Amino acid sequence: MTAAKLPRHLAIIMDGNGRWAELRRRDRTFGHLKGARVAKEMIEHCAQIGIEYLTLYAFSSENWLRPRTEVTFLMKLLGRHLRKERRTLMKNNIRFSVIGDIERLPGAVLEEVSLTIEETRINTGMNLVFALSYGGRQEITAAVRNIARAVAAGEIQPEEIDESMIAANLQSSFLPDPDLIIRTSGEYRLSNFLLWQAAYSELCITKTLWPDFSLDELTQTLQQFTSRERRFGRTAEQVRQGPTSQQAMV
Ligand code: FPP
């Protein structure tokens, strides 16, 4: 598959770790451990095949409501994973960043996050983004609050607010919209993930639980994506005539 046909931005909702473990009569944490191993494999593979942006939904705003022991385990896993994998990121020329309310993370995890961002800043290959303590509604609310402040300060008029201004005020404004969102474990919902940015994303839902998601299935999914026609609200004929000037700029 050529890089030109790959999604520029691939986003993944890694779901099903708990069920995977429960099916094996193991603790849910066992599923998260296997899930982290699969995430590592996907990250390296995506970097190697030329994906420009990979966003992983690693911990949602709502995940804070899980039992304390599970939250503590996930936080420790995340911190350890980042510490261990910084070398892998450097080796693969991957630049790391995060979206979400990271101030809520325990200090030790926040430190690993900051170190990883700092150390990988010089890399020029794939951009890996962890959505951590992330919620799409919270992100949009924060953007609206910023814009409201600018209006209250008389810096802008309400009539000047448009889609590009909202997008520019999102924490994820450095990311292009995701071209493809994959969700594992067969649930048909976005669960507060990239709500604004997903307006025209292709969605792929697979029944496979995240710990069983394989490079083969990723390859098949990417192949399916290349065969879908993305119309962005236009007709098939208009699409055949080429991109609009607006799309050509993106
Ligand atoms: C969903 O499984 C997954 C999460 C809560 C977070 C994803 C976390 C990982 C893959 C492990 C850590 C990741 C990295 C990148 C270090 P679930 O518990 O919601 O599964 P369930 O729906 O079957 O309960």
pLDDT at residue number 87: 97
Nearest ligand 1 atom to alpha carbon 40: 15
Is the CA virtual torsion 204, 207, 213, 215 positive or negative? negative
Whether residue 15 lies in the annotated active site: yes
Residue-level pLDDT at 5: 84
Cβ–ligand 1 contact at 63 (below 6 Å): yes
Six token digits for residue 186: 């067969």
The one-letter code for the residue type at 58 is A
Model pLDDT, residue 227? 87
Task: Say whether 98 sits in a helix, a strand or coil.
Answer: strand
Cα 14 to middle of ligand 1, angstroms: 6
- Give this prediction's pTM: 0.92
Say how many C-beta atoms besides its own lie within 10 A of residue 128's C-beta: 25
92 noted as active-site residue: no
205 membership: H or E segment, kind and range: strand 202-205
Instruction: Report the separation in Å between the CA atom of 101 and the middle of ligand 1, taken as the mean of its atom positions.
Output: 18
Blockwise average pLDDT, block size 10, the chain, 250 residues: 78 98 97 98 98 98 97 98 97 98 97 98 98 98 98 98 98 98 97 98 98 98 87 71 50
Question: What pLDDT score does 243 carry?
Answer: 60
Pocket lining: 43 vs ligand 1, CB cutoff 6 Å: no
Euclidean distance between CA atoms 178 and 180, whole angstroms: 5
Domain-by-domain residue ranges, the chain?
Answer: 3-136+176-249
Which residue is closest in CA terms to ligand 1's atom 7?
58
Other Cβ atoms within 10 Å of 235 Cβ, number: 9
CA distance 118 to 114: 6
The CA 10 to ligand 1 mean position distance, Å, reads 18
Longest dimension (CA), the chain: 60
Q: Which of 27, 63, 123, 146 is catalytic?
A: 63
Q: How far is the CA of 84 from the centre of ligand 1 (A)?
A: 18
Query: Domain 3-136+176-249 sits in which CATH superfamily?
Result: Decaprenyl diphosphate synthase-like (3.40.1180.10)
Which of 32, 34, 83 to probe ligand 1 with, by most ligand atoms within 8 A of CB?
A: 32
